[in-house]
């Protein structure tokens, strides 16, 4: 066993080997690995000491072969992140949950001569009921039902407490909503980073880990269960009676997260035709699902997938939108962009690989939305103005800041319409009196860059970064246009465009339109809907009609494979420029 000590955090963990990144994750401090542990992005660079030798290494490539001390930066040690948890459902909520409780007295349960106490029940529940009936001093029992199915029997009268949880499993973050199912009240929201990030920032990296590394699938599966159990336990500490009376959990997430939650081999998602093990809703008792923090017979349901990489998070997001709205677009902006078009009561859905640029990945100074991240950029009147999460010094650019920065550089003439970044000399010839020229230069690798801050840790955007933004924005725009054209629609005919997800909620819509990230829909028709997936999962938890709607969605949905669409291929090239 080797001792890995995180000096600044005063935490020590013992490991038998593995990478330094894995050891930090085991200690509770996962380090961002955008490249999936291939040593390409450099974002996991840490300072370590072994004896008297102090050096800087890549945590994802450094194997632990002895005792070592690690010095994490404040950003690496911070477990704070700006996670979008809220969103609004565009219809009136109805309280009609799938699970219910009913208290009955012993007198009510004793049948007429020759008849049974219970009409039906599974063996484990019947055994528990029989034991409770054998306690002569017990006068009341509470029965927990899922529809007309008996889930559990509890001693005494517990009918006054009944909870449910909706969990949105994102590639980057997890959000848990604890709800009172008797009153329809949202009691608590808890969120955390997805611990699987230690094996890569995107789903492709995690698929690769599951397929190529011995025990990789089990690692990813157990990591996800550990994170969800931790959120449940944290909620239980703050909400008395929550864990003991939690009998329904509704989960949503993308197709890869669904596979990893249930421990399903994701090989079908590794290449064309991108098939899933099952797209149907999967239902099990908590004990079978591996959720140990709740009653063993708590009902756990993962919402259905819609096809390929369009997962249950899109299903939930569609449930959150107005039922009566037609000819509307839903765009969930992230590493994997999901697009859904509702047309004549049916849905056409697709996914497009945007890459991690819009979430801060693959960007030289990119970072997640944590304290120190620049979330707003303005270059008006030749002045650089930044808004930083937490109000402290800028440490990097998160997704919304990257979008703003690109748009502002384009407006200022520092970028041309092809996305090329002008040299300082070229810019000065065209704008001889602009103070912005002082911010132009090259990074350590000699690549053109615009510096928003200077100093020991400058924040800047490079030519390569701009190209990554172009690839992402072209993929989203081409996907939207391909679905619209397939249905014979023009952007002006779209009645509403809903932006969902963390990036979609924080992005400046005017800048998104200016850069061509979105089709030219009228500005007043574009709405940011926050964590629509989380809202939809909550609605399925509180109203069984919405749960049935979600289960019926796949039959009303057509999945389009954009890679096979000539319009998408043409548009991908067409919309690359600004």
Distance in angstroms (rounded) separating the CA atoms of residues 231 and 550: 25
Partner residues linked to 48 by β-bridges? 55, 70
53: helix, strand or coil: strand
114: left (phi over 0), alpha (psi -120 to 50) or beta: left
> Using alpha carbons only, what angle is made at residue 45 by residues 230 and 221, rounded to the nearest 5 degrees?
30
Helix residue ranges per DSSP H, 239-294: 255-262, 286-289
pLDDT in tens for each of the 578 residues of the chain? 888 988 888 888 888 888 888 888 777 788 777 666 677 677 788 888 888 888 888 888 888 888 988 888 777 776 555 555 555 544 446 799 999 999 999 888 887 666 788 888 889 899 999 999 889 889 999 999 999 899 999 999 999 999 999 999 998 889 999 999 999 999 999 999 899 988 887 888 899 999 999 999 999 999 999 999 999 999 999 999 999 999 999 999 999 999 999 999 999 999 888 899 999 999 999 999 999 999 999 999 999 999 999 999 999 999 999 888 899 999 998 777 899 999 998 999 999 887 777 777 789 999 888 889 999 999 998 999 999 998 999 999 999 999 999 999 999 999 999 999 999 999 999 999 999 999 999 999 999 999 999 998 999 999 999 999 999 999 999 999 999 999 999 999 999 999 998 777 788 999 999 999 999 999 999 999 988 999 999 999 999 999 999 999 999 999 999 988 999 999 999 999 99
Strands (E), 290-433: 299-302, 328-332, 336-343, 346-353, 373-378, 385-388, 396-397
* Domains present along the chain, CATH in parentheses: 2-77 (3.10.20.30), 100-155 (no CATH), 163-302 (3.30.420.480), 321-356+471-574 (3.30.420.40), 357-467 (no CATH)
Task: Name the nearest CA neighbour of 156 among 286, 287, 95, 244.
Answer: 244
Distance in angstroms (rounded) separating the CA atoms of residues 384 and 82: 23
Query: Are 276 and 269 a contacting pair, CB within 8 Å?
Result: yes
Distance in angstroms (rounded) separating the CA atoms of residues 514 and 577: 12
Q: Label the pairing between strands 346-353 and 173-180.
A: unpaired
Task: Name the nearest CA neighbour of 56 among 66, 67, 43.
Answer: 43
Q: What does DSSP assign to residue 63?
A: B
42: left (phi over 0), alpha (psi -120 to 50) or beta: left
Q: For the purposes of burial, counting CB atoms within 10 Å of the CB of 300, is it exposed (0-12), middle (13-18) or buried (19 or more)? A: buried
Distance in angstroms (rounded) separating the CA atoms of residues 381 and 126: 75
Distance in angstroms (rounded) separating the CA atoms of residues 223 and 233: 15
């Amino acid at each position: 066993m080797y001792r890995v000590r995180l000096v600044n955090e005063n935490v020590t963990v013992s490991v038998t080997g593995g990478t330094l990144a894995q050891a930090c994750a085991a200690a509770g401090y996962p380090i961002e690995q955008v490249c999936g542990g291939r040593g390409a992005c450099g974002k996991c660079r840490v300072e370590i000491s072994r004896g008297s030798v102090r050096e800087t290494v890549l945590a994802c490539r450094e194997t632990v072969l002895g005792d070592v001390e690690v010095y994490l930066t404040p950003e690496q040690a911070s477990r704070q992140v700006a996670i979008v948890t809220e969103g609004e459902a565009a219809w009136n909520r109805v309280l009609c949950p799938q699970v219910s409780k009913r208290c009955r007295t012993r007198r009510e349960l004793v049948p007429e001569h020759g008849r049974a106490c219970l009409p039906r029940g599974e063996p484990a529940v019947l055994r528990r009921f029989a034991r409770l009936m054998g306690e002569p001093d017990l006068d009341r029992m509470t029965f927990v039902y899922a529809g007309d199915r008996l889930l559990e029997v509890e001693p005494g009268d517990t009918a006054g407490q009944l909870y449910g949880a909706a969990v949105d499993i994102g590639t980057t973050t997890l959000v848990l909503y604890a709800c009172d199912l008797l009153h329809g009240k949202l009691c608590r929201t808890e969120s955390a980073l997805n611990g699987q990030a230690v094996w890569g920032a995107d789903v492709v990296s995690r698929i690769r880990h599951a397929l190529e590394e011995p025990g990789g699938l089990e690692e990813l599966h157990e990591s996800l269960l550990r994170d969800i159990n931790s959120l449940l336990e944290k909620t239980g500490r703050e909400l008395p009676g929550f864990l003991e009376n939690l009998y329904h959990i509704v989960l949503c997430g993308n197709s890869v997260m669904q596979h990893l939650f249930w421990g399903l081999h994701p090989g079908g998602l590794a290449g064309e035709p991108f098939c899933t093990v099952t797209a149907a809703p999967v239902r099990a008792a908590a004990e079978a699902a591996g959720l140990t923090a709740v009653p063993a017979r708590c009902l756990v349901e993962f919402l259905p997938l819609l096809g390929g990489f369009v997962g249950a998070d899109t299903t939930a997001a569609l449930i959150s939108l107005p039922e009566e709205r037609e000819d509307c677009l839903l765009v969930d902006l992230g590493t994997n962009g999901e697009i859904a078009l509702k047309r004549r009561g049916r849905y056409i859905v697709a996914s497009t690989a945007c890459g991690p640029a819009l979430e801060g990945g693959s960007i030289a100074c990119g970072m997640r939305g944590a304290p120190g991240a620049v979330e707003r950029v303005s270059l008006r009147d030749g002045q650089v103005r930044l808004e930083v999460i937490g109000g402290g010094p800028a440490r990097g650019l998160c997704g919304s800041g990257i979008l703003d920065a690109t748009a502002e550089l384009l407006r200022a003439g520092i970028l041309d319409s092809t996305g090329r970044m002008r040299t300082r000399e070229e810019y000065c010839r065209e704008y001889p009196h602009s103070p912005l020229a002082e911010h132009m230069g090259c990074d350590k690798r000699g690549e053109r860059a615009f510096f928003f801050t200077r100093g020991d840790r400058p924040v800047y955007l490079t030519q390569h970064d701009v190209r990554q933004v172009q690839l992402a924005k072209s993929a989203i725009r081409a996907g939207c246009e391909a679905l619209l054209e397939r249905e014979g629609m023009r952007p002006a005919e779209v009645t509403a465009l809903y932006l969902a997800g963390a990036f979609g909620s924080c992005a400046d819509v005017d800048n998104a339109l200016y850069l061509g990230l979105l089709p030219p829909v009228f500005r007043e028709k574009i709405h940011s809907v926050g964590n629509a997936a989380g809202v939809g999962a909550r609605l399925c938890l509180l109203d069984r009609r919405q749960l049935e709607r979600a289960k019926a969605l796949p039959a009303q949905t057509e999945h389009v494979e954009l890679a096979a669409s000539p319009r998408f291929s043409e548009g991908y090239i067409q919309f690359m420029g600004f």
